[in-house]
């Protein structure tokens, strides 16, 4: 869904208050529906290895949901299925239900290009294109939308402002994006992801390669973006999950052990394995 307004905290006072009109038409369920992504009895394999076992989980709209758990427990695999990135892995297959509002993500007739316009992805390591800062953000809109030059420029500015990097790059929009710092590159990638008007942002360890100052900037940005986007974040950092997320899901050996409000998962978990993990007894 295209955002209709920007929060004051996410923009300078001089910034536009609405996202530029792009003509991007997203079919979405009623915003009164608290569930954005519904996962039911989902299993996933890489060849003979089963990475996810009978997983059922509802991901609420306009909240940050953190996936936590030790390496190899299925967190990133689930993100890749939500975005259909595992389509390019020959050995990957799955069964069960993954729905984004009314859309059956796994159905063979689902338009994967359309899905990825609705579900943006931000990776562990910043991956800007070897293009200018402007062209990185403009790439998706050029591909999917028919925009006049002025509208495209307005959309690029809006996206960079929303990603809290505009003030740092506005005087060098036509400089190579690879010249930015790691933290700036990651915020640029977030701007690139939101420029096409997604409803969901998937973030796979978005801060693991960043310094503490950049990590704090990304965490603040995640907190602000949740007002307009549904965010699913994989993290190994327990403090980050507790700071940034509204809900937390704990995975272990391909199974969902426990999920719920973040405060409850961290302070009064229902399962011993959850308690042991959040207290650092393993992982």
Per-residue pLDDT at 11? 37
pLDDT on residue 227 = 87
Indicate the pLDDT class of residue 145, thresholds 50, 70 and 90.
confident
Q: For residue 10, what pLDDT is reported?
A: 35
pLDDT at 231 over 90: yes
**pLDDT cut 90: percent of the chain above it:** 77
Give yes or no for a contact between 175 and 40, defined as CB atoms under 8 angstroms apart. Answer: no
Predicted confidence at residue 283, as pLDDT, reads: 67
Per-residue pLDDT band for 144 (boundaries 50, 70, 90) equals: confident
For 109-145, give one letter per residue: b (16+ CB within 10 A) or e: eeeeeebbbbbbbbbbebebeeebbbbbbbebbeebb
Is pLDDT of 58 > 90? yes
pLDDT at 197 over 80: yes
Mean pLDDT score, 148-160:
95
Q: How far apart are CA 173 and CA 156, in angstroms?
A: 10
In this prediction, residue 146 carries a pLDDT of 85
What pLDDT score was predicted for residue 281? 87
Q: C-alpha distances in angstroms, 234 versus 8, 33, 101, 205?
A: 27, 24, 21, 5
Residue 32: what pLDDT?
Answer: 56
Mean of the per-residue pLDDT values of the chain: 88
Nearest CA among 150, 133, 160, 118 for reference residue 29: 118
Q: What is the pLDDT of residue 154?
A: 96
pLDDT at residue number 18: 55
**Domains delineated in the chain:** 34-278 (3.40.50.300)
Q: What is the mean pLDDT of residues 204-227?
A: 89
Determine the 3-state secondary structure of 83 from DSSP: coil
SS3 content of the chain, % helix, strand, coil (to 5): 35, 25, 40
The answer to whether residue 203 scores a pLDDT higher than 50 is yes
Separation of alpha carbons 117 and 195, rounded Å: 9
3-state secondary structure 183-252: HHHHHHHHHHHHCCCCCEEEEECCCCCCCHHHHHHHHHHHHHHCCCCEEEEECCCHHHHHHHCCEEEEEE
- Alpha carbon distances (Å) from 227 to 80, 116, 149, 196: 24, 20, 29, 17
**pLDDT in the model for residue 2:** 37
How far does Cα 233 stand from its chain's mean position? 6
Maximum average pLDDT range among 16-25, 194-203, 217-226: 194-203
- Confidence band of 63 (pLDDT split at 50, 70, 90): very high
Q: Is the pLDDT of residue 71 over 70?
A: yes
> Is the pLDDT confidence value at 46 over 80?
yes
Whether the CA torsion 174, 179, 184, 188 is positive or negative: it is positive
Residue 211 confidence (pLDDT): 86
With cut-offs at 50, 70 and 90, classify the pLDDT of residue 263. very high
Say what the pTM is. Answer: 0.85
Residue 15 has pLDDT above 80, yes or no: no
């Amino acid at each position: 869904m295209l955002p209709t307004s920007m929060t004051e905290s996410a923009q300078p006072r001089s910034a536009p208050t609405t996202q530029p009109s792009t003509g991007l038409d997203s079919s979405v369920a009623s915003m009164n529906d608290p569930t954005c992504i519904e996962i039911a009895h989902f299993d996933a394999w890489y060849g003979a290895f089963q990475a996810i076992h009978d997983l059922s989980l509802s991901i609420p709209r306009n909240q940050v949901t953190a996936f936590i758990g030790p390496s190899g427990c299925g967190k990133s695999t689930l993100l890749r299925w939500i975005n259909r990135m595992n389509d390019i892995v020959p050995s990957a297959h799955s069964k069960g239900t993954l729905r984004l509002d009314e859309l059956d993500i796994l159905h063979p007739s689902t338009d994967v290009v359309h899905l990825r316009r609705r579900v943006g992805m931000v990776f562990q390591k910043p991956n800007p294109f070897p293009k200018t800062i402007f062209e990185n953000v403009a790439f998706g809109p050029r591909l999917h939308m028919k925009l006049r030059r002025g509208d495209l420029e307005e959309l690029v500015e809006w996206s960079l402002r929303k990603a809290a990097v505009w003030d740092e790059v506005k005087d060098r929009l036509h400089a190579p994006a690879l010249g930015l710092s790691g933290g700036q590159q990651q915020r640029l990638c977030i701007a690139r992801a939101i420029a096409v008007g997604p409803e969901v942002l998937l973030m796979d360890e978005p801060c693991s390669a960043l310094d503490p100052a950049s990590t704090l900037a990304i965490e603040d940005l995640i907190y602000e973006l949740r007002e307009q986007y549904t965010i699913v974040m994989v993290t190994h950092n327990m403090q980050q999950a507790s700071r940034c997320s509204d809900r937390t899901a704990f995975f272990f050996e391909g199974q969902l052990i426990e999920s719920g409000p973040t405060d409850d998962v961290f302070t009064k978990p229902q399962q011993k394995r959850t308690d042991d993990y959040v207290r650092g007894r393993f992982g």
